[in-house]
Amino acid sequence: MNETGINAYKQSNVITADPKRLVILCYDRVISNLKLAQESYVSKDYETKAKCVQKAQDIICELMNALDFEHGGEVAKNLFSLYNFLNRHILEADLKMDIKAISEDIKMLEELKSAWQGIFYATAKPAGIEPAVVYDRGREKMAASYRA
């Protein structure tokens, strides 16, 4: 398959995805961009690094913009704070060229992605269970979990 066909397939995959799948796709893209940024630091390909960091931050901003504060309550507020923290932390890590800090962000995003996959696609979720966000990182508190 040529590059045009691959890009068309990817675009079709996003356009036809349900909102739950789009959240997972966003996490996938942020994670893959941050991993590529790490590789680019090591290989001293700073142009690619900059593009990947910017793409990751843009996607996080899209996740922030997609939050529904009216219906999402505390979960939406906490996710907004978490995404804001991640964007600041990624920027700080980029400025300091701190690959370890980016690894921490990747790990956090992988945990969130896994939690959302469990929430979205669990076959037997007990009634009254909703996502809650609690992560403790110094003065910042966030991470996905279940709340009754």
Q: Is residue 89 part of a domain?
A: yes
Residue 131 within any structural domain of the chain: no
Q: What is the pTM of this model?
A: 0.72
Residue 14 lies in a domain: yes
Tally of domains in the chain: 1
In a domain, 120, yes or no: no
Regions in the chain scoring below 70 on pLDDT: 1-17, 123-148
pLDDT of residue 133: 44
Residue at 119 is within a domain: no
B/e letters for 73-112, b = 16+ CB within 10 Å, e = fewer, are eebbebbbbbbebbbebbeebbeeeeeeebeebbebbeeb
Kindly report, residue by residue over 23-56, the tens digit of the pLDDT: 999 999 999 999 999 999 999 999 999 999 999 9
CATH number of the domain within which 27 lies: 1.20.120.340
